[in-house]
Chain A
């Protein structure tokens, strides 16, 4: 079965020039998203997942961020496109939902006006037709009384409602790819579940691919088909979601799993991963996880492993799998 690759990222490297050093926040990551697929990108704060998603939209500041590598969307090289063509891609073919629904809507415009604006920007519709589409979209994302809500200002809505509005806004032009940057982090658990349900429903209805950027493995398990685990600007593991949860390979992923509380087991203390992510200005020469790894070997401290294929569709950046070996214990 060959599936169409909607987005293909190759050897993406993102560096920021600071006053006295160049900091490489994302170091040579490659991944792809199939049409209609949901890809999860997991990792802790500062591992480069948000920067990766912003670079796909080309929203990083031009004067400080240096992007190398290739990002192909529908066969087009995104990094080479002139700015005017990017305006056509943003919001129309690739759209984005942000982490903070409380601050992602402009407080001085009504909800209706903000969604209308996106429609008028990308689709050749009159103001009246745009408003009809807006109302229709708000109804689809489960907002009660859309006729009243369009006249409201963002401060009059709750966080969950605002995130629904953001989803409506991002999907109104039927984009091929939706990048959701921690869409449920700022919401409480009940609303989180509602928003995830909604996103799943929308994916089914509109057939969009989703990149789900999150640090919540629960969200990944519920939403995604494939997962990338990122650590310190690199992909450390890439697998189908079932394979990842059933059989995590990389010591970092294993550590992440161990640090999640489980309902069916009674443990007095969760097992944390010792230490901290090394700063980008001072990365260890070998494997970036080596200083925190419980199974560290001499080789790990000197050489950074490449992404090795462990099983079909399951890749892992760890010397333990150099000869197809497994995790002891």
Chain B
């Protein structure tokens, strides 16, 4: 008997050091092992810095034309060359970072907020409400994303603000689906029943006991969705439905540079590269986050 008691104590004491390292430390430890995700994280930090201070440190005015240096290739004075109005491309891309970040972050934030709310409530309450929410999702997901965004822009009219709304609406059903899925799994857990047995109201159970369980998935999808939000926002601008010409939006820049693809490929190349690197960074970071947050994969 004393044997098993001591073995329990031993188990307790070997577990004790773990309590010193919180779950956050464990997460960081796992995340650190993923080199691509760390590089991606570095790029995202740079993008955030650009969005914050880019316009201030840009070497030239992104809007001021200079008709003496039209479509000049990269040089020591204009590192990435100039566009068809002689505007410095580097300055425009640096300014464009802010637009892309604001559009993608705000649209995905709004979309995930609404999506998570409906996902949690639909999964928890079930029944007719759940069917209604899920069928609405099915309808929304039946359209290709870009087509749906174009349709929304067609109703609301072109402009950056409407791009945010369109991308947010496009993001909602995806979040509803994944959050509902994990809510369904979580609500049958013993600890949810135990929590109900302590007299907690449904609203508090959803908010305090189920939402934290879905949070890691929401976080991962949030990161990954930013990449596709940037892409869709750029596509809409490319089609002339989003940011309007003088604005240094990457998609709009790509669209206007397209005409000079043969004579001055850098005008389209650099905004395109900016879009590519940003999307890639967010997706790789999301992947790394998922691998670090999901213990099953690690084990």
Q: B1-40: contact bitstring with A at CB < 8 Å (1 yes, 0 no)?
A: 1001100100110011011000100000000000000000
Q: How far is the CA of A188 from the CA of B1 in the complex (A)?
A: 11
Q: Are the CB atoms of A87 and B201 closer together than 8 Å?
A: yes
Take A104-B190, A153-B23, A161-B12 as given contacts and tell me if A91 and B127 are in contact as well, using a CB distance cutoff of 8 Å: no
- Which residues of chain B (196-211) have a CB below 8 Å from chain A? 196-201, 208-209
Tell me the nearest residue of chain B to A61, going by C-beta. B126
Q: Are the CB atoms of B15 and A156 closer together than 8 Å?
A: yes
Q: How far is the CA of A89 from the CA of B200 in the complex (A)?
A: 10
Q: Are the CB atoms of A166 and B194 closer together than 8 Å?
A: yes
The residue that A107 contacts in the complex, of B191, B194, B199, B201, with Cβ under 8 A, is B191
In the complex, whether B189 has a CB less than 8 A from a CB of chain A is yes
Partner-binding segment picked from A15-23, A36-44, A94-102, A284-292: A94-102
Q: A156-188: contact bitstring with B at CB < 8 Å (1 yes, 0 no)?
A: 111011000010011000000000000000001
Q: Are the CB atoms of B199 and A121 closer together than 8 Å?
A: yes
Task: Give the interface centre of A100, A104, A105, A109 by most chain B CB atoms within 10 Å.
Answer: A104
In the complex, whether B138 has a CB less than 8 A from a CB of chain A is no
Q: Find chain B residues with CB under 8 A from A152 CB.
A: 19
Q: Are the CB atoms of A59 and B193 closer together than 8 Å?
A: yes
- Which residues of chain B (228-270) have a CB below 8 Å from chain A? none
Q: B126-140: contact bitstring with A at CB < 8 Å (1 yes, 0 no)?
A: 010000000000000
Q: How far is the CA of A63 from the CA of B200 in the complex (A)?
A: 20
The residue that B212 contacts in the complex, of A90, A98, A109, A148, with Cβ under 8 A, is A109
Q: Are the CB atoms of B12 and A91 closer together than 8 Å?
A: no
Q: Are the CB atoms of A89 and B199 closer together than 8 Å?
A: yes
Q: Are the CB atoms of B8 and A169 closer together than 8 Å?
A: no
Q: Find chain B residues with CB under 8 A from A209 CB.
A: none
Take A148-B19, A190-B4 as given contacts and tell me if A105 and B194 are in contact as well, using a CB distance cutoff of 8 Å: yes
Q: Are the CB atoms of A191 and B190 closer together than 8 Å?
A: no
The residue that B198 contacts in the complex, of A63, A118, A156, A191, with Cβ under 8 A, is A118
Q: Find chain B residues with CB under 8 A from A100 CB.
A: 190
Tell me the nearest residue of chain B to A172, going by C-beta. B198
Q: Are the CB atoms of B198 and A90 closer together than 8 Å?
A: yes
Q: Are the CB atoms of A158 and B12 closer together than 8 Å?
A: yes
Q: Find chain B residues with CB under 8 A from A148 CB.
A: 19
In the complex, whether B213 has a CB less than 8 A from a CB of chain A is yes
Q: How many contacting A-B pairs (Cβ < 8 A)? A: 86
Task: Give the interface centre of B16, B197, B212 by most chain A CB atoms within 10 Å.
Answer: B197
Q: Are the CB atoms of B199 and A88 closer together than 8 Å?
A: yes
In the complex, whether B273 has a CB less than 8 A from a CB of chain A is no
Q: Are the CB atoms of B198 and A91 closer together than 8 Å?
A: yes
The residue that B199 contacts in the complex, of A90, A160, A191, with Cβ under 8 A, is A90
Chain A nearest CB, measured from B16 CB (Å): 8
Q: How far is the CA of A191 from the CA of B11 in the complex (A)?
A: 14
Q: Find chain A residues with CB under 8 A from B196 CB.
A: 59, 90
Tell me the nearest residue of chain A to B126, going by C-beta. A63
Q: Are the CB atoms of A158 and B197 closer together than 8 Å?
A: no
Q: How far is the CA of A105 from the CA of B190 in the complex (A)?
A: 8
Q: Find chain B residues with CB under 8 A from A118 CB.
A: 198-199
Take A87-B200, A104-B190, A108-B213 as given contacts and tell me if A63 and B127 are in contact as well, using a CB distance cutoff of 8 Å: yes
Q: Find chain A residues with CB under 8 A from B156 CB.
A: none
Q: Find chain B residues with CB under 8 A from A108 CB.
A: 212-213
In the complex, whether B151 has a CB less than 8 A from a CB of chain A is no
Q: Are the CB atoms of A95 and B197 closer together than 8 Å?
A: yes
Take A100-B190, A103-B190 as given contacts and tell me if A191 and B8 are in contact as well, using a CB distance cutoff of 8 Å: yes
In the complex, whether A222 has a CB less than 8 A from a CB of chain B is no
Q: B168-202: contact bitstring with A at CB < 8 Å (1 yes, 0 no)?
A: 00000000000000000000011111111111110
Chain A nearest CB, measured from B32 CB (Å): 21
Can you list the 6 inter-chain pairs with the closest CB atoms, starting with the nearest? A91-B198, A90-B199, A91-B199, A103-B190, A104-B194, A96-B197
Pairs A–B under 8 Å by Cβ, sample size 21 = A59-B193, A87-B201, A89-B199, A90-B199, A92-B199, A98-B197, A105-B191, A106-B209, A106-B212, A107-B191, A108-B213, A109-B212, A121-B198, A121-B199, A148-B19, A151-B19, A156-B16, A156-B18, A157-B12, A160-B8, A166-B194
